[in-house]
Amino acid sequence: MKQYFIIVFGGAAVIAVCMSISYGGAFVWNKAKQARIKVDVSKTISSSLYGVDQNVRSAAAGVNSTFSDAEDPFGAISNDRTVVNGFKRVIKYAPDPQQDFIIAAAKSLPRNTIPSVTAKGYLVRNMTNSSDAISHNANTLLPIASLTKLVTAIVARKLIPPTDDITITKAIANTEGDSGQLRVGEKLTAADLYYPLLLVSSNDAAEAYAQHYGRTKFIMAMNDFAQSIGAYRTYFNDASGLSPDNVSTANDMATIIDWIEKNDPGIIQTTMLKTKTVGKHTWYNPTHFLNWSYYVGGKNGYTPEANRTGVALFALGKNKDLYAVIVLGSDQRDADMVQLLKVVKE
């Protein structure tokens, strides 16, 4: 009988122990399974963060492209943002040590539109460090009107000796517009014609250069020049800008004014003159920004097809960085430029 009880109760004890082991194993297995699920979720979130990282990388590529893989300040984003807590792997919401860098990079990217700006295309470029502060439709092809005359001046100074006498013919005088007050039969030197061309945007002066050199060859030289400096989308059909087929983009105009500032600054200096007298002629510069201490030159234009256009240079900030402000297709050119300058000053 004693052996019977030992066998019965001993067997029951063994069964109880086995059941405990089985239950404990199931509990551990479930915990491990939950941990794996959390790891998978964490990996998914980490992958999403990595995708965001790729977008930020692309957007901020212009901010700093000199980092090696080891130095990459964005690398922390794609690392595993989880921590082990017992059997669980949970998301760690600790701030990223590179967060300030990312925010700074995002803020440095060009902003898009300003509702109060009427121009169809515009660009503000810091020419000192070759960065864009703001742009909108900067690669959209638009008529440029008398901004054409900046390239007319460049090509005239390259191809026509400044001492050449240029006679104003009837064909030249019949060009639309009379802002230069040029008269049939009078002679001016090539150097003298720069003033009505750039101060009062004389269409007659532009046509005088073209016809003196050979109109077809002169306009071809203008187009060749634009291509040679990388203003690939710019095209000229005449030397004055009267033609609506004279087209460019805000980006191309920034390229052109940058070339002038670096290679032929005399053109910009001429646009800063308030008046110029040559013989019986006195030309008055109508540019409204002339009285601004930080305005350093520019050119305006208008035709019905182009509306108001403008390129202006400003020296801003403690370091006097040079900014180019370009507006194309504007209803209110000066007001648009003022609004764009506020972006730089903010």
What value does the mean pLDDT take over residues 226-246?
A: 98
- Strand partners for 310: 300, 327
Distance from C-alpha of 155 to C-alpha of 234, rounded to nearest angstrom: 15
Residue 305 has pLDDT above 70, yes or no: yes
Whether residues 294 and 337 fall in one domain = yes
Domain stop point among 59, 80, 106:
106
Residue 319 has pLDDT above 70, yes or no: yes
Residue 37 has pLDDT above 90, yes or no: no
pLDDT at 143: 98
User: For 53, which DSSP code?
Assistant: H
Whether residues 64 and 185 fall in one domain = no
What value does the mean pLDDT take over residues 315-321?
A: 91
pLDDT at 131: 93
- For residues 274 and 248, is the Cβ–Cβ distance under 8 A? no
Total length of the chain:
346
Contacts of residue 302, defined as CB under 8 A and 6 or more positions apart, other chains included, come to 145, 146, 308, 309
Whether residues 75 and 172 fall in one domain = no
Looking at the domain assignment, is residue 177 inside a domain?
yes
Residue 174 has pLDDT above 70, yes or no: yes
Mean pLDDT of the chain: 79
The encoded tokens of residue 297 equal 């030159």
Residue 100 has pLDDT above 90, yes or no: no
- Total domains in the fold of the chain: 2
Residue 266 has pLDDT above 90, yes or no: yes
Residue 48: exposure state from Cβ atoms within 10 A (0-12, 13-18, ≥19): exposed
Whether residues 270 and 141 fall in one domain = yes
Distance from C-alpha of 250 to C-alpha of 125, rounded to nearest angstrom: 10
Whether residues 134 and 93 fall in one domain = no
- For residues 224 and 214, is the Cβ–Cβ distance under 8 A? no
Residue 270 has pLDDT above 50, yes or no: yes
Whether residues 95 and 122 fall in one domain = no
Q: Tell me which residue of 290, 229, 308 sits closest to 298, measured CA to CA.
A: 290
pLDDT category, 113, cuts 50, 70, 90?
A: low
What value does the mean pLDDT take over residues 158-166?
A: 98
62: domain range?
45-106
